[in-house]
Amino acid sequence: MISELLINAFLVTIMLSIAIALIKTRTVIFTVILTSAYSLVAALMFITLDAVDVAFTEASVGAGISTILFLAAMAYLPKKEEESISSEFIPALSCIILGGILIWCSFDLPEIGQLTAPIHQHIAPEYIKGSKENIGIPNIVTSVLASYRGYDTFGETIVVFTAGVAVLALLEKKNPAKKNKSQPKRKIRKNA
Amino acid sequence: MISSTVGIWNYWIVFCLMMIGLFLVIGRKNFLKKIVGLTIFQTSVFLLYITFGKIKGGTPPILNESINTIYSNPLPHVLILTAIVVGVATTALGLSLVLRINSEYGSIEEDDVSAQDLVDYHDDIETGKKLDLKFKK
């Protein structure tokens, strides 16, 4: 039991060091690679925390597709991050204060892995009991995702569709020559 | 004693990761770095949720034959599965916004972009042009 938690603690510490490296680095390619590594270590974490479905979704979508998107965007963007003129003291201070408050609050959280924690009392036992009879799939996550809370998944597809439409609208290839010609014409007419 | 310290240690690291993500969003002026910060923040929130769902000695929530199995809580897993996909959608949207800003302003540094906006604003005031709050085309 303790070994499991120690593996957890080890993995989150790796994640912490990756995040600190992210603050240090100013090169865009390193930033992208570190983000990908962060997602992969997070996927390992999810396996040790019994969330196998989440782990392979994170490994394929978080570490795979996100990285592809970042790499594709990187090709059109400046390769170096500039040093900021303004001071980073106030953001850092507010983050540290907020983190301190969160850590202070964490003493009220239930210890990891306790069966008596409030989250395990409410509706999850019903899902675990009813999954076999109601839906007949051994994987409870799938039956909750697709059946008990199917509307959530429906809403998710709407969100993804909206994002896709918005991306298409933003990246629409305008014909620059045509636009530059048409705008001055209008202005000339107004002046005349 | 060790187990209780380790039990809370996870939460602390997750909160530190969140704060690093938040710092990248509000402290860094590079728009790409801000989006990376959002991703970091998101993943740490996922970790927090999955950590809540863990049960000591539990197995992944896939039904097996034996009766006395303890399954970890499947509900956070489902919520996070949805959130991962939505997270990628928001990342894609943010990246396309960054690409658009880069093509309009020629820079993705917040200082450059706001300086250009300020110059345009003062030009508009000097020429007495009617101010419209729409983005510069």
CATH number at residue B114: 1.10.287.3510
Domain count of chain B? 1
Mutate to test the interface with A, among B1, B17, B86 (most CBs of A within 10 A): B17
Output the six-digit token pair for B113. Answer: 């972009």
Over pLDDT 90: what percentage of chain A?
30
The arithmetic mean of pLDDT across residues B99-118, rounded, is: 87
- How crowded is residue A141: how many other Cβ atoms within 10 Å of its Cβ? 24
Contact state of B84 with A61 under an 8 Å Cβ cutoff: yes
CA separation for the pair A110, B19 (Å, rounded): 21
The arithmetic mean of pLDDT across residues A55-63, rounded, is: 91
Question: Would you say residue A181 has pLDDT above 50?
Answer: no
**Full residue range of the structural domain in which residue B27 is found:** 2-126
In a domain, B131, yes or no: no
Contact state of B62 with A98 under an 8 Å Cβ cutoff: no
In a domain, B55, yes or no: yes
* Closest residue on chain A to B74 (Cα): A141
User: Can you list the alpha helix ranges (DSSP code H) found in chain B?
Assistant: 2-27, 31-53, 74-105, 110-126
In a domain, B89, yes or no: yes
Contact state of A141 with B61 under an 8 Å Cβ cutoff: yes
pLDDT of residue B35: 92
pLDDT of residue B130: 60
Contact state of A19 with B17 under an 8 Å Cβ cutoff: yes
pLDDT band at B67 (very low <50, low <70, confident <90, very high): confident
In a domain, B134, yes or no: no
Per-residue pLDDT tens digits for A119-159:
888 888 888 888 888 888 888 888 888 888 888 888 889 99
With contacts defined as CB-CB under 8 Å, which chain A residues touch B92?
69, 163-164, 167
Question: Would you say residue B83 has pLDDT above 60?
Answer: yes
Q: Is A96 an interface residue toward B (CB < 8 Å)? A: yes
